[in-house]
Amino acid sequence: MRIAIFGAGAVGGTLAALLARAGFEVSVVARGQHLAAIQLNGLRFQTPDEEFVVNVIASDDASQLGQQDLVICTLKAYSLPAAATSLASLLGEDTPVVFAQNGIPWWYFDNDESSEYQSLRESIGLQRVIGCVVQCPATVIRPGVIRLSQNHLKFFLGERTDVLTPRLQKIKTELEATLPITLTTEIRTEIWNKLRINVASSLLTTLTHSYTSDVLKIPALKTQFLQLLAETRAVAAGYGVNIDQADEHLLARFYRQKHAPSMLQDLLAHRPMEIDVQLQRLQTLARKAQVATPLLDILLPLLQQRVLATAEVR
C-alpha cells in the first residue's frame, strides 16, 4: 500500500515513522531543514520505550511522488488552500484523502461556499474526504527527529456523511495492526470533543507558558479550563452536536502529562498559530448560533495581543 503523508511535522512524522517501520511504502512531503535531515539521516522517532530510524521517500515536490493508494494530510489548516494543487498530484482515480487538522475543518458544513477553501473543493473534491481526529502528544524536537512524550495515540476516522463505508473499513483493516484506529459514524462529535480540549488548553497554556498539567494544578485556572469546556460544549449543541463526555473524565489523562499543546509549541517556536481556525472560528460560530462565550471573549483578545507583542519583541 502506497501512503503519502502530506506534512511531516509532529503528527505526520509519527504516522510516517510507524507506517514505514511496519513495511508500508511511505512518502512524505516536507520542507526546509526538516526535509534535509530526513533525506540525509532518515526519520528518527523516539517514544518513552524505544527509538528507531526509518528511511522514507521525502520531497518538497508532491508531484514527484506519484499516485498513492492513500493520502494523509496533516498540514496546519492555514496551509491547506495553497497546497491544494500539490495534494491533487498524489491522487489516483479512487484515492481517499484523510484530513487531520485541528479546529472546525474546511469540509465540516455541507453548504459552506466560502472562497478560502474553494481550491480544495475544486482540486480534491468532497467525495474524497475522510475526517480524522488525532490524539498524539508528539513534538519535532529538532529537524528529522520526532518525540512522542507518552504512549497515548488515538486516531478516529469517519466519513463526512457519517456512513461506515467500505473504504473506511478497508483503511482500518490495512492499518489497524500499526495504528490505534477507531472508526466512527459521528466524526463531528469527535471534532468537537477535541476542540473543547484544544480551546481550553491552547488559551490557558499559551497565556501562561505552562503545560496543561500545571494549569490544572491551580484551582482558579482549572475553573477557567472547565468554563471553556462548557462554553465550547454549548456552541456544539447550537449546531446539533450533543457532547455527553464528563469533563473530569476528559481531564484525567492531562493531570500528569508534560506536553505542550501545539499552539504553545508554535508560539515558542515563533511559527504561525491556528488562532483563526480554532478560536476565532469558534467565536464566530457562537455568535451565529447566539450562544454566549464570555470567557472566550475575554481570553482571545489577550492571546492575540500576546502574539503581536511577541512578534514585536523579535
pLDDT tens track for 105-123: 999 998 776 778 899 999 9
Residues of the chain with pLDDT under 70: 113, 312-314
What was the pLDDT predicted at 314?
Answer: 55
pLDDT given at position 313: 59
Helix (H) / strand (E) element for 248: namely: helix 247-251
Domain 189-313 annotated CATH 1.10.287.3510: no
Round to whole Å and give the CA distance between 195 and 274: 12
Residue 250's pLDDT is what? 74
- Confirm whether 194 is a catalytic residue: yes
Give the other-Cβ count within 10 Å of 286's Cβ.
20
Fold: same for 2-184 and 189-313 = no
Find the catalytic residue in 194, 222, 258, 288: 194
Choosing among 3.40.50.360, 3.40.50.720, 3.40.50.2300, 1.10.520.10, the CATH entry for 2-184 is 3.40.50.720
**Closest to 69 in 3D by CA, of 128, 155, 132:** 128
What pLDDT, on the 0 to 100 scale, is given for residue 312?
A: 66
Model pTM?
0.94
Domain residue limits, the chain: 2-184, 189-313
Residue 100 — φ and ψ, nearest 5°? -120, 85
pLDDT at 83: 96
- Give the Cβ contact number of residue 207 at 10 Å: 17
Instruction: Report how far residue 11's alpha carbon sits from residue 75's, in angstroms, rounded to the nearest whole number.
Output: 9
